[in-house]
Amino acid sequence: MLKLYNTATRKTEVFKPLGDVVKVYTCGPTVYATPHIGNFAAYTYWDLLVRTLKMNDYKVLRVLNLTDVGHLVSDADEGEDKLEKGAKREGKTVWEIAEHYIDVYLTNYAAMEFLPADIVARATDFIEADMRAVDLMTANGFTYETQDGIYFDTSKMPSYADFARLDLDGLQAGARVGFSDKKRNASDFAVWKFIHEGEDHAMRWDYLGRPGYPGWHLECSTIIHEELGEPIDIHTGGVDHIPVHHTNEIAETYAAYGKELARYWMHCDFITIDGQKISKSLGNVYSLEDLASRGFSPMDYKMWLLSGHYQGTRNFTFDSLEAARNRRANWRAKIAKCYQLNNGDKEKSDVASVFDNILAAVNNNLNSAEACAIIDNSDLSLDDWKKVDALFGLRLITDTPDIAKQSYELIRERDAARAEKDFKRSDEIRDLLLKQGIALNDNPNGAIWYYNN
């Protein structure tokens, strides 16, 4: 039985799918810069969600969007477009920036061993559908026009504040002086922005007889409408999305189509690094490549993420990353042992399955931390390990390949030589194995071998 915490109800609920296929939507990245490790926190936990659904025999249809347009630097429909900013920084066009960073993202996704989304949707492929959505919102009386663009009138939606438990009066009182030139209520937001004479905005489309571009919440409600149909089962994102982005996606869907957007909403919290937020000025915007240059693989980082829970802030340190790397190495050493037993070196491995307990932990609102503790403290069969790898996507099995019996015998002979302090023989065997493409890592649990290519 799968239980998930639902932000919409603020309760942990038994998951009940709406139909035969579980529809999942993940708010994806804005493709304007190299992703940092904080960005991968969310995608790791949503990858775990999809893998967990599949392990529970649900069919899943998952959409990931790529924000390649119209995402302003602030949530308040102000500031610079992130893609325009990237283009200026790198002396390229916005289209080149989007192309390049989509490539970077997809390469990083593969490196993180995420299951590919069934549909990857680019915001720029949905502009006409965005316009149709604005037409509908307008026809239904939810928008008004200002010199800045088409705005959503949040006062027209009685339940607007419910999802995020917003204090609208407080928001209004705290709003910046002068906002009323652009919009009527502090919580109103642009569904379409106009581009004025002389304004430097390369991505532009004609709508209502003038150039403009969509407001940034619109792509998600549009893509869900076009690709999945409302309501979907599960909508995921970061906690930062709750008060503005997701609240506004819900409002747009209500105003355009009169529908509920999603049944379950899941949000992961932020990670800090050495107790600080991730920021350029602190020099801690680490990418996967930065981790690699310090000797940590994407799987080590994924192990670190899965060692904690998706809710609640987590603090990243290189010491804790090293602990995660060791944990994964230990697991691989245990898998290597399983291969050894299965190859008939000793009596056949005969341990009861503990996978049900591992899955039960994860089924409890994705408690991967507890699942990891169970794995640490149990003897798993090779079959169980294969299921753990399918559940976590940690490349445990592919990074720990089975090897020929003759090589096992050499490794055992070397273990014995080392036990007798016959280092000459032990080194000879190491060299011999290296010639067969097999390298060894000595470890308190015994040597771990891996293909050296």
Contact 259, 251 (CB under 8 A): no
Nearer to Zn ion, 27 or 53 (CB): 27
Q: How far apart are the first and last CA of the chain?
A: 42
Residue 271 interacts with ligand AMP (CB under 6 A)? yes
Residue 137 interacts with Zn ion (CB under 5 A)? no
Question: Could you tell me the smallest distance in angstroms from the CB atom of residue 9 to ligand AMP?
Answer: 21
Residues 405-444 that bind ligand AMP (CB under 6 A): none
When binding is defined by CB under 6 A, the residue of 240, 290, 322, 399 that contacts ligand AMP is: 240
Q: What is the 3-state secondary structure (H, E, C) of 151-205?
A: EECHHHCCCCCCCCCCCHHHHHHHCCCCHHHCCCCCCCEEEEEECCCCCCCCCCE
Contact 189, 248 (CB under 8 A): yes
When binding is defined by CB under 6 A, the residue of 70, 86, 215, 238 that contacts ligand AMP is: 238
What DSSP designation does 35 have? Answer: P
118: left (phi > 0), else alpha (psi -120 to 50), else beta? alpha
Nearer to ligand AMP, 68 or 384 (CB): 68
Residue 30 interacts with ligand AMP (CB under 6 A)? yes
Residue 104 interacts with ligand AMP (CB under 6 A)? no
Question: Could you tell me the smallest distance in angstroms from the CB atom of residue 124 to ligand AMP?
Answer: 16
Q: Residue 160 has which token pair?
A: 């607007």
Return the biggest CA–CA distance within the chain: 86
Phi, psi for 64 (deg, rounded to 5): -120, 130
Question: Could you tell me the smallest distance in angstroms from the CB atom of residue 228 to Zn ion?
Answer: 13
Q: For residue 282, what are the CA distances in angstroms to 33, 96, 275, 286?
A: 17, 28, 11, 11
Question: Could you tell me the smallest distance in angstroms from the CB atom of residue 30 to Zn ion?
Answer: 11
Tokens 């790898």 correspond to 389
Residue 187 interacts with ligand AMP (CB under 6 A)? no
Question: Could you tell me the smallest distance in angstroms from the CB atom of residue 237 to Zn ion?
Answer: 6
Q: Which one of the spans 38-46, 84-92, 165-173, 289-297 is the region binding ligand AMP (CB under 6 A)? A: 38-46
Q: Residue 360 has which token pair?
A: 């039960």
Residue 262 interacts with Zn ion (CB under 5 A)? no
d(CA 179, CA 73): 17
**CA neighbor of 263 nearest in space, from 233, 242, 237:** 233
Contact 80, 72 (CB under 8 A): yes
Nearer to ligand AMP, 315 or 398 (CB): 315
Nearer to ligand AMP, 205 or 270 (CB): 270
Residue 27 interacts with Zn ion (CB under 5 A)? yes
Residue 220 interacts with Zn ion (CB under 5 A)? yes
340 contact choice in ligand AMP, Zn ion, none (CB below 5 to 8 Å, kind-dependent): none
Nearer to ligand AMP, 321 or 388 (CB): 321
Residue nearest to ligand AMP (CB): 238
Residue 86 interacts with ligand AMP (CB under 6 A)? no
220 contact choice in ligand AMP, Zn ion, none (CB below 5 to 8 Å, kind-dependent): Zn ion
d(CA 160, CA 164): 9
- Total residues contacting ligand AMP (rule CB under 6 A)? 12
Name the helix (H) or strand (E) containing 12: strand 11-14
Tokens 């916005």 correspond to 94
Residue 365 interacts with ligand AMP (CB under 6 A)? no
Question: Could you tell me the smallest distance in angstroms from the CB atom of residue 168 to ligand AMP?
Answer: 23
d(CA 276, CA 362): 29
Q: Residue 58 has which token pair?
A: 């649900």
d(CA 216, CA 54): 31
2 contact choice in ligand AMP, Zn ion, none (CB below 5 to 8 Å, kind-dependent): none
215 contact choice in Zn ion, ligand AMP, none (CB below 5 to 8 Å, kind-dependent): none
Q: Which one of the spans 96-104, 171-179, 235-243, 258-266 is the region binding ligand AMP (CB under 6 A)? A: 235-243
d(CA 149, CA 145): 6
Count the alpha carbons within 13 Å of 104 in the hemisphere toward its beta carbon: 18
Phi, psi for 29 (deg, rounded to 5): -80, 155
Nearer to ligand AMP, 124 or 340 (CB): 124
Sign of CA dihedral 359, 360, 363, 366: negative
Residue 42 interacts with ligand AMP (CB under 6 A)? yes
Residue 39 interacts with ligand AMP (CB under 6 A)? yes
Residue 278 interacts with ligand AMP (CB under 6 A)? yes
Query: Which positions touch ligand AMP (CB under 6 A)?
Result: 29-30, 38-39, 41-42, 237-238, 240, 270-271, 278
By the criterion CB under 5 A, which residues form the site for Zn ion?
27, 220
